[in-house]
Structure 1
Amino acid sequence: MRELGSAGAPDAETRQRIREEIAGRLAEAEAPPKRRGHTVANLAAAAVALFLALGGLTLLLSKDALPGDPLYGIKRAGESAALGLTFDEKDKANKHLEFATNRVGELDELTRQASTTEAYFTGLADFESELRAGVSRLTAVVTDEGGQTRLTELRTWARQQSDRLGLQIERAPAEARDKFTAARTLLEKVQARTTDLGSRLVCYTITTGSSDELGAVPAAGDCVRDPGSPDAVVPPSTVPGPSSAPAGSPTPTRTPTAVPPSSGVDTDGPTGPLTPPTGGTPPPVPTPPTTKPNPPLPVPTTVTPPPPLLSIPPLIPGLPPIVIG
């Protein structure tokens, strides 16, 4: 057995082959953790994509959500994201007013469904928040760039939303009617603000430099007109031309000048013979005095002496001299 054991021992080549085989298997044993890390990354990317897809679907489903619904918060978050992606101040103001209009429509839907008072409070609070933000941004743009038309549109919009809220008060719960009245009062302040600010756009001093919940406060006092303002309108001239007369004015008539009887000249009467009155003697026709025209004055005659003669000797011998004059 002792001899058989020594005879069955592997040689050096066999040992090397066994060592390499064991090293290869150890290398394969270390590979699975790397593959598992790659798989985790793939799963994370898939989870993010699924989250985004579900978020987009949830945002789409929340489009018709009303105040008090579970998806209403997601709807408001989507509106905030839309504002964050808007960089122009005028566009931001318009979006705020658009969202405020949506709140009025949602309140109208709440009155149809007989919702809770808390839902009305949420909708009215969000409406006032969007209204203040939109009016503040829009009045700032108008103060810097001018825009009487924008103020007129804002005033019309505020009046329309006030009328819509007025129709909803009777159907709203009694606890929420004071909130409706406060929202309508705020809309009346918006209308007054647009009127006051519009009257100052042509002045050097438009605002007082201070702000309130609706933005810039219009200045008061005398208005010194700024001819360089984009809203300044120069009235047309009302001074008539030299050959025009104002409409409706009487046509000037010529008043005949009285001529004394002794002059024998009728300055404004007809030039032909007068028609004698019936049953009387025709008056004598006066003869205009004859005037002798003055003889024309003699025209003085000026005699200009002729220029002297100039003689230039010939330039080439044999030719006659050159005479000028």
Structure 2
Amino acid sequence: MGRGITPLWRHRQREQFARAVEALPGDTDPAFADELAVVTLLREAAATSGPDEATRARMRERVLGASPSPPTKVDRRRPRSGAHGRLAVALVAALCLVFSLAGMSLLLSRDALPGDALYGVKRTAESASLGLTFGEESKGYKRLEFASARVSELEILVDRYRDAGGGPLGGYLTALADFDADAAAGSRVLAAFGSGSDRRALGSLRDWATSHTTRLGGLRGSLPVDAATRAGTSLDLLARIAQRAADLAARGQCATVTSGRFDQVGPVPATGDCVAPPVEPTTTSTTDLPAVPASPPATSGVPPTTAPAPPGAGTTPGVPPRTTEPTLPLPSLTVSITPPVQLPTLTLPSLPLPGLTG
């Protein structure tokens, strides 16, 4: 059973027992005779089993005669380790919360459209990705990729608000303005790169401008009136980009490709006559010349001669006289003989050995 309220009679009984214990030995209450007898025995045991007066005096003198220990200094300042720990935990929790919210915002902003609350977060993420892109050519293509995303957002807005009368005008205007900024920036980078290093960048820029002219032109009829008027500016920009890429590519074989000036879409092509760049003369090394075969030794046109027969030759009947073969001149051969190198003569002193004379 749980602890309940003590009855009133129990309180009264405890008070009576306490008064009986504190009363004089002669004033005992017969109702607590047994309990008072036990109390009396405990008092007598404490008096007989405890130390006597002499022992108590010695104990008192020993305690009082001992030198008091110096009081310990208690640092009442509040410990700071706990406060620093709680502050560090709070900062870590705050950072985790910020990172988690930023990650969720980035994930949710991937599908944000112009005019949405998270569209600014999406554009900030694109700027960060552009900062992590290395190389001028890669940055130019990244800009064109952003511009293509703006056209895709316009297509989504048209499909979403096709039955609602066009939707918010601010979203269309924002997408077109961002498209122009990214397309012009990408054109400036790729046109400069293509006119100086790689001509293929100019072809890619021209093809991109042509394809997006087709996309934006087909989408223009579905835009609101004001947005359709604004889309005309973007189409003019695409036409300028395509023409600029073609003009720079046409002067690819000229000594001067650009005029040194820049405008919104990139370097301005030169207007002078197309003069081919000078060809540097090439020097032919003697090692590249073909080897001339050595001419055979010239032979003399002297016909072979017959040596006169020695005396007595031909006296033998039936034996024809002996003829000698023609003699050909032999080429002179010069052989250089290097004399051997004469080594120096070393003379060792004689060492006297025991048992030997001389």
| Cross-structure match for 1:111 | 158
1:116-158: per-residue Cα shift (whole Å, max 9, x none)? 11111111000000001111111121122122x3222221111
Q: Identify which of 187, 196, 215 aligns with 1:164.
A: 215
Contact map agreement 2:158 2:223 (CA 8 A) in 1: yes
Matched, 1:46 2:100: no
Determine the structure 1 residue equivalent to 2:78: 30
* Aligned counterpart for 2:231 among listed residues 175, 180, 184: 180
Which amino acid is 1:26 matched to? D
Contact kept, 8 Å, 2:153 with 2:175, in 1: the verdict is: yes
Q: Name the SS for the 1:64 alignment partner.
A: coil
Residue 258 of structure 2: which of 207, 218, 229 is its match?
207
- What is the TM-score normalised by the length of structure 1? 0.63
RMSD: 2.8
Given the alignment, which residue of 152, 160, 169 partners 2:203?
Answer: 152
Residues 85 and 305 of structure 1: CA distance in aligned 2, closer, same or farther (over 3 Å): same
Q: What are the within-5 Å matches in structure 2 for residues 189-208 of structure 1?
A: 189-208=240-259
Q: Which amino acid aligns with 2:147?
A: A
Determine the C-alpha separation between the residues in 2 that align with 1:61 and 1:219. 48
**Does the Cα contact within 8 Å between 2:195 and 2:249 map onto a contact in 1?**
no
Q: Alpha carbons of 1:14 and 1:214: their partners in 2 closer, same or farther (altered >3 Å)? A: same
CA–CA distance in 1 between the matches of 2:138 and 2:304? 90
**Aligned with residue 84 of structure 1, among 122, 127, 131:** 131
**Alignment deviations for residues 165-214 of structure 1 (CA, whole Å, 9 cap, x no partner):** 11221111111112101100100001100100001122110100010011
Residue 172 of structure 2 aligns to a residue in which SS? helix
**1:125 and 1:208 mapped to 2: Cα distance?**
29
Deviation at 1:30, TM superposition (A): 3.4
Identical columns (%): 38
Deviation per CA, 1:6-56, whole angstroms, max 9, x where unpaired? x9x97774442xx22xx2x426x432x232122212211221122112101
For residues 223 and 83 of structure 2, the distance between their equivalents in structure 1, rounded to whole angstroms, comes to 60
Counterpart Cα distance in 2 of 1:125 and 1:217: 24
| 2: CA distance, partners of 1:10 / 1:54 | 70
1:130 correspondence with 2:130: no
Residues 132 and 12 of structure 1: CA distance in aligned 2, closer, same or farther (over 3 Å): farther
Q: How many residues are paired up? A: 224
Aligned partner letter, 2:238: L
Given that 1:67 and 1:122 are in contact with CA atoms closer than 8 Å, whether structure 2 keeps it comes out as: yes
Structure 1: any 5+ residue segments left out of the alignment?
Answer: 1-6, 229-299, 307-325
SS at match of 2:271: coil
Match of 1:266 in 2: none
Unaligned runs of 5+ in 2: 1-60, 280-300, 308-358
Distance 1:122 1:302, change over 3 A: same
Question: Would the aligned equivalents of 1:202 and 1:227 in 2 still touch at CA under 8 Å?
Answer: no
CA contact (8 A) 2:209 2:238 kept: yes
Q: Is the 8 A contact 1:159 1:187 kept in 2?
A: yes
1:155–1:190 CA contact under 8 A, matched in 2: yes
Partner of 1:294: none
Which structure would you say has the larger Rg? 2
SS at match of 1:30: coil
Partner of 1:100: 147
Counterpart-to-counterpart distance in 2, 1:208 and 1:132:
19
Q: Return the offset for 1:303.
A: 7.7
TM superposition shift of 1:221? 2.0
Conserved? CA contact 2:169–2:227, under 8 Å? yes
The answer on 1:121 being equivalent to 2:173 is: yes
CA deviations on 1:227-251 (whole Å, 9 max, x unpaired) are: 77xxxxxxxxxxxxxxxxxxxxxxx
The CA distance in 1 between the partners of 2:66 and 2:217, in whole Å, is: 102
Do the aligned partners of residues 207 and 12 (structure 1) sit closer, same or farther apart at CA in structure 2, a change above 3 Å counting? farther
- Report the CA distance shift for 1:200/1:34 in structure 2 as closer, same or farther (over 3 A): same
Distance 1:10 1:69 in 2: 86
Partner-residue secondary structure (3-state), 2:268 = strand
Matched, 1:68 2:120: no
- Could you say what secondary structure the match of 2:140 adopts? helix
Task: For 1:11 and 1:53, locate their aligned partners in 2 and report how far apart those are by CA, in whole Å.
Answer: 70
The normalised TM-score by structure 2 is 0.57
Q: Does the C-alpha gap of structure 1 residues 30 and 222 become closer, same or farther in structure 2, counting only changes over 3 Å?
A: same
Q: Deviation string for 1:69-97 (max 9, x for gaps)?
A: 00000000000000111121111111100
Residue of structure 2 aligned with 1:55, choices 85, 97, 102 = 102
